[in-house]
Amino acid sequence: MAVTAALVKELRERTAAGMLDCKNALVEANGDIELAIENMRKSGQAKAAKKAGRIAADGVILTHVEAGVATMMEVNCETDFVARDEGFLAFGKKLLAVAAASQINDIETLNAAELDGSTVQTVRDTLVTKIGENISPRRVINVSGENLGAYVHGGRIGVIAILTGGDEELAKDVAMHVAAACPQFVKPEEVPAEVVAKEKEIQIDIAIQSGKPADIAEKMVSGR
């Protein structure tokens, strides 16, 4: 499979590795992006292989927690320059307030909701004309719970933690750790056997590359 610029760009977005590293990994993997990510993890080149599947568009994630309800929203734009624009951020905060007040969980309902004497869609269209970029609310969710904590890292990674017991401060700390670790599963019993086997294979390869004998590497990983 040919290694195209688009493939290199996608791999870079998913791993945060350098362009040359991404190109070389794809060449080695004959254009297979999943194999390239696996190989990069083994060699230590991928800084964030767990980013797979996250939205690549620029924009911002916003959260609001009040009275047992947490709201999270993603609003997209085309460039990081606009993602920092005061007008864009103000629009996002208004959308968040609308979604929180009415506990809106889908974009169609949000776009039809009232905002500044008009609709969200109309206000959005006006802002698009003013800024010159496509702006679009992409996802929105409201959740309720006993103790809620929300955390946003860099405007791009957002987490809501719902706890039974504890308090809101603990929930926020948990949300912060989830943002940092990006766990795929909550409980060990949720992890499919094939995922465990693949991760074991990767960790054994990493141990061997660090200089450990194969039998020692196997025992180290099996004991984790």
**What's the pLDDT tens digit per position in 116-171?**
998 998 888 888 877 777 888 999 999 999 899 999 998 889 999 999 988 999 99
* Higher-confidence position of 63 and 156: 63
Is residue 108 over pLDDT 50? yes
Q: Per residue in 172-184, pLDDT tens?
A: 999 999 999 888 8
Q: Per residue in 81-105, pLDDT tens?
A: 888 989 999 999 999 999 999 999 9
What confidence category does residue 196 fall into, taking pLDDT thresholds of 50, 70 and 90? confident
Question: Looking at the domain covering 58-181, what would its CATH class be?
Answer: alpha beta
Is residue 45 over pLDDT 50? no
The answer to whether 43 and 60 are in contact (CB under 8 A) is no
- At residue 47, the pLDDT reads 44
Q: Does domain 184-224 have CATH number 1.10.286?
A: yes
What confidence category does residue 16 fall into, taking pLDDT thresholds of 50, 70 and 90? low
DSSP conformation letters of 146-205: SEEEEEEETTTEEEEEEESSS-HHHHHHHHHHHHHH--S-SSGGGS-HHHHHHHHHHHHH
Mean pLDDT of the chain: 85
Residue 157 CB neighbour total at 10 angstroms:
15
- At residue 132, the pLDDT reads 76
- At residue 98, the pLDDT reads 96
* 58-181 and 184-224: identical CATH topology: no
Q: Where are the domains of the chain?
A: 1-54, 58-181, 184-224
Element (H, E) at 40: helix 33-43
The answer to whether 163 and 125 are in contact (CB under 8 A) is no
In the block, residue with structure tokens 């809106």 = 104
Is residue 66 over pLDDT 70? yes
* Higher-confidence position of 63 and 135: 63
- At residue 46, the pLDDT reads 40
Q: Looking at residues 209-219, what average pLDDT do you find?
A: 83
Is residue 43 over pLDDT 90? no
- At residue 201, the pLDDT reads 87
The third-level CATH classification (topology) of the domain covering 1-54 is: Helicase, Ruva Protein; domain 3 (1.10.8)
- At residue 52, the pLDDT reads 32
pTM of the model: 0.63
Is residue 53 over pLDDT 50? no
Distance CA 207, CA 201 (A): 10
Per-residue burial over 206-223, b = 16 or more CB atoms within 10 Å of its CB, e = otherwise: bbeeeebeeeebbeebee
